[in-house]
Amino acid sequence: MSTPTLTPTRPDPSAPGAALTQRRSRPGELAFRVAMQSCLAVAFGVLASLLGWVLIKGWNRLDSRLWTEMPTGLTSRLDTAGVQSALVGTVWIISLVAVICLPIGVLSAIYLEEYANNTRWYNRLLELNIQNLAGVPSIIFGILGLGIIARTLGLGFTVITAAIVLSLLVLPVVIIASREAIRAVPQSIRQASYALGATKWQTVSRQVLPSAVPGIATGSILALSRAIGEAAPLLVLGAVTFITFNPDGLDSAYTALPIQIFTFIARSQSEYTELAAGAIVLLLTIVLAMNSIAIFVRNRFEKRW
Amino acid sequence: MTTSTRSAGSAAGNTLRRGRRRPVESIVQVLLVAAALVSIVTTVGIIIALANPTIEFFQQVSIVEFFTGTSWTPTFLQKAYGVLPLVSATIVVTVIALVIAVPIGLGSAIYLAEYAKPGTRKVLKPVVELLAGVPTVVYGFVALFALNPLLQKWWPTENGPGFQNLLIAGIAMGIMIVPTIASISEDAMSSVPRSLREGAYALASTKMQVSTRVVVPAAISGIVAAVVLGISRAVGETMIVTIAGGLTSDRVVFNPLEGAATMTAFIANISSGDIPVGSLDYDSVFAVGALLFLITFALNAVSIRMVRRFREVYE
């Protein structure tokens, strides 16, 4: 995103060497270029056709039944089946993840960037720990939820357990993105604020944070969208049966979209496959819309100092 | 907050001499530290959650049997706890995924960083990032219902791939990690300073020579970090292998046309069923989880170190 482009030559600004080598035709050069280009084309092509295939497969199920009807395990009732409880469950979980994860993530980022002395071993350990957590497989977080949150803390297989586990899972994403956004605010802004007599927290809360909002928002939306698509930790947390009611509280049993899709896939009848495809289109629409908003916010609102 | 605003006039002097107590400032500090501690608590929680059942597991199963046994059958009558079948299936799937994702991901990154016009790049890079967000359950679905039927139809010999097999899981996983590898190695290549490229052009290098002999070597630690992260994601990926990879674990399977359970697939399968807490089966989930955690921990450590190296050199 940040390649410096200095060359004034209009026709092909990305190829400063082009003018020099134009004389001789080099078949190897062209072949290499085409090969690199086709790598990207193959990647896009395969993904686009797969997503297109899902759309076609689920086309018959893409109507209001999807969100007005409940899932069912009975093949005879499949005509009037949807994923309402899963959709509502996902909304519940994601709202809770936003409430739990975003404040903790942003506050951690503020601590690491503005308050922590990063020559101290404990602050460096904290940083390494966050980087490592970002790479821990999601199913391990499911095991954490199973062993500690559901059993030892006794919260059981409920909406709140799922929300806590997914919050911890995407916390590193929020922290890392918020740190980058905070770091990008120039030091001069802080110094000007201090010079006017502001305290540390006044400077952070009134100067640094408002400037960092676009970056933080981007990271937060990406984190929430990842939490929406995660199925593995919920699988360990026992969310696999057909739930035909919407959650009505933090201690309610639940199902969520990716888990519901998994249970449809596990059934062999082709009606379930279609229903799974329809639900996937719904899930993808939500996730890709959120990611697009995040990338748009980053590209449009991010300040360049 | 309001009190500190009203007395802002004298605040600067106070901060310098630390004369006045400011309750808001110290409350905020405590809150910030508490928030930062959550991630430490998470790691400690993961270790505790894994450690206790794992220790109980190894009191009943010898470590030697666990690491050398070639049969993993906790749900059979004849129970055996050798983890090698799960590990070998994980390795087979990961290798297939890398064979697909590394060339395609790197090629895409080279094209985006070196060949694409700035306008094209500005459009394509976000699309790559967007594709990295597709939930993995979707890849599992297309692997089982779209890719595998195609593979079975086009397979040249008699004994084609089964309904679930490691090959299709590996292919789907490869497609899944292409955007990750492409995006991170493209970042590494873009941060190679322009002067390096211009030096090479001044020595009459062609564009291909600059890409392959200057940019790629200069960005190599970032590229390695991207690949290691790809491996780590492939090893820890659950949904694709649970849906499309199969369940066999009573023997070591190296033939990718057969189905076999990976470490993650075993955890997902057995823990989504009803297993009594404290039983050996329950503990085995945590033992496999601990092994998985250690493997990805090592991979992450390598990746973090590599990223740090390329940052040190060029930023």
For A141-196, the pLDDT digits (tens) are 999 998 899 888 888 888 999 999 999 999 999 999 999 999 989 999 999 999 99
Same domain, A148 and A41: no
Instruction: Give residues 129 to 148 of A whose Cβ lies within 8 Å of B.
Output: 129-144, 146-148
Chain segment B152-206, per-residue pLDDT in tens: 988 888 778 888 999 999 999 999 999 999 999 998 899 888 999 999 999 999 9
The residue that leads in pLDDT, A150 or B32, is B32
* Residue A13 placed within a domain: no
* Residue A223 placed within a domain: yes
* Residue B102 placed within a domain: yes
* Residue B70 placed within a domain: no
* Residue B93 placed within a domain: yes
Looking from the CA of A296 toward its CB, the CA atoms found within 13 Å total: 6
* Residue A7 placed within a domain: no
Residue A10, pLDDT score: 47
CB A46 within 8 A of CB B134: no
Three-class DSSP category at B72: strand
Residue B312, pLDDT score: 55
Same domain, A123 and A234: yes
Q: DSSP for A274-287?
A: HHHHHHHHHHHHHH
Same domain, A191 and A281: yes
Three-class DSSP category at B81: strand
Residue A303, pLDDT score: 67
Mutate: best of A61, A118, A201, A218, partner B, most B CBs <10 A? A201
Short-list A262, A285, A237, CA closest to A93: A237
Among the ranges given (A36-40, A280-284, B22-26, B103-107), the one the predictor scored with the smallest mean pLDDT: B22-26
Give the number of other Cβ atoms within 10 Å of residue B20's Cβ.
13
CB of A25 within 8 Å of any CB in chain B? no
- The span from the CA of B116 to the CA of A35, in Å, is 13
- The span from the CA of B37 to the CA of A107, in Å, is 11
Residues of chain B contacting A200 with CB distance shorter than 8 Å: 15, 25
Give the end of a domain, one of A9, A31, A61. Answer: A61
Residue A8, pLDDT score: 45
pLDDT confidence bin for A23, thresholds 50/70/90: low
* Residue A9 placed within a domain: no
The residue that leads in pLDDT, A303 or A211, is A211
Which range scores top for mean pLDDT: A57-66, B96-105, B125-134? B96-105
Q: DSSP for A170-211?
A: HHHHHHHHHHHHHHTS-HHHHHHHHHTT--HHHHIIIIIHHH
- The span from the CA of A180 to the CA of B89, in Å, is 38
The residue that leads in pLDDT, A39 or B77, is A39
The residue that leads in pLDDT, A222 or B21, is A222
Three-class DSSP category at B274: coil
pLDDT confidence bin for A242, thresholds 50/70/90: confident
Cβ density class A131-154: b for 16+ within 10 Å, e for less: bbbbbbbbbbbbbbbbbbbbeeee
Same domain, A56 and A75: no
In percent, the amount of chain A with pLDDT more than 70 equals 90
How many structural domains compose chain B?
1
pLDDT, mean of residues A278-291 = 93
Residue A62, pLDDT score: 87
Same domain, A74 and A50: no
Q: How many CB pairs under 8 A join A and B?
A: 318
pLDDT, mean of residues B203-220 = 91
Q: Which among A148, A235, A240 has the least Cβ separation from residue B49?
A: A148
The DSSP 8-state label assigned to residue B210 in this structure reads I
Residue B7, pLDDT score: 44
The residue that leads in pLDDT, B87 or A304, is B87
Residue B11, pLDDT score: 46
Is residue A4 over pLDDT 70?
A: no
Among the ranges given (A230-244, B108-122, B295-309), the one the predictor scored with the smallest mean pLDDT: A230-244
Cα separation values, A190 from A183, A202, B9, B80, B116, Å: 11, 10, 17, 62, 38
Mention every residue, 6+ apart, whose C-beta is less than 8 A from residue B285.
A143, B53, B266, B267, B270, B271, B275
Is residue A252 over pLDDT 90?
A: no
* Residue A56 placed within a domain: yes
- The span from the CA of A233 to the CA of A74, in Å, is 26
Among the ranges given (A233-247, B33-47, B137-151), the one the predictor scored with the smallest mean pLDDT: A233-247
Cβ-defined contacts of B269-275 (< 8 Å, 24+) = B269/B242, B270/B74, B270/B75, B271/A142, B271/A143, B271/A146, B271/A235, B271/A236, B271/A238, B272/A235, B272/A236, B272/A238, B272/A240
- The span from the CA of A110 to the CA of A180, in Å, is 11
Same domain, A188 and A278: yes
Kindly report the CATH number assigned to the domain that includes residue B294: 1.10.3720.10
Average pLDDT, chain A: 86
* Residue A4 placed within a domain: no
> Which residue has tokens 């357990």?
A161
In degrees, rounded to 5, the angle at the alpha carbon of residue A36 between the alpha carbons of residues A40 and B95 is 75
Q: Give residue A138's domain range.
A: 68-301
* Nearest-by-CA chain A residue for B38: A104
Residue B16, pLDDT score: 56
Residue B204 backbone phi and psi in degrees, to 5: 70, 30
The residue that leads in pLDDT, B4 or B38, is B38
pTM (2 decimals)? 0.86
Same domain, A189 and A72: yes
Is residue A278 over pLDDT 90?
A: yes
* Residue B109 placed within a domain: yes
CB B198 within 8 A of CB B259: no
Same domain, A297 and A265: yes
Same domain, A196 and A233: yes
Chain segment B111-138, per-residue pLDDT in tens: 999 999 988 988 888 888 888 889 999 9
Is residue B3 over pLDDT 80?
A: no
Same domain, A180 and A248: yes
How many structural domains compose chain A?
2
* Residue B283 placed within a domain: yes
Instruction: Give residues 276 to 295 of A whose Cβ lies within 8 Å of B.
Output: 276-277, 280, 283-284, 287-288, 291-292, 295
Residues of chain B contacting A284 with CB distance shorter than 8 Å: 134-135, 138
pLDDT confidence bin for B2, thresholds 50/70/90: very low
Same domain, A45 and A87: no
* Residue B43 placed within a domain: no
Q: Give residue B165's domain range.
A: 84-314
ipTM of the complex: 0.86
Residues of chain A contacting B229 with CB distance shorter than 8 Å: 135
User: Checking phi first, is residue B277 left (phi over 0); if not, alpha (psi -120 to 50) or beta?
Assistant: beta
The residue that leads in pLDDT, A84 or B275, is A84
* Residue B162 placed within a domain: yes
Residue B110, pLDDT score: 95
* Residue B202 placed within a domain: yes
Same domain, A53 and A187: no
In percent, the amount of chain A with pLDDT more than 90 equals 52
Short-list A43, A57, A44, A48, CA closest to A280: A57
Short-list A226, A303, A140, CA closest to B49: A140
Is residue B19 over pLDDT 90?
A: no
Our measurement of the distance from residue A299's CA atom to the centroid of its chain's CA atoms, rounded to an integer in Å, reads 17
Looking from the CA of A301 toward its CB, the CA atoms found within 13 Å total: 16
**DSSP-assigned beta bridge partners for residue B72:** B81
pLDDT confidence bin for A25, thresholds 50/70/90: low
Instruction: Give residues 70 to 99 of A whose Cβ lies within 8 Å of B.
Output: none
* Residue A33 placed within a domain: yes
Residue A9, pLDDT score: 43
* Nearest-by-CA chain B residue for A32: B208
* Residue A163 placed within a domain: yes
Alpha-carbon Rg of chain B, whole angstroms?
26
CB B52 within 8 A of CB A146: no
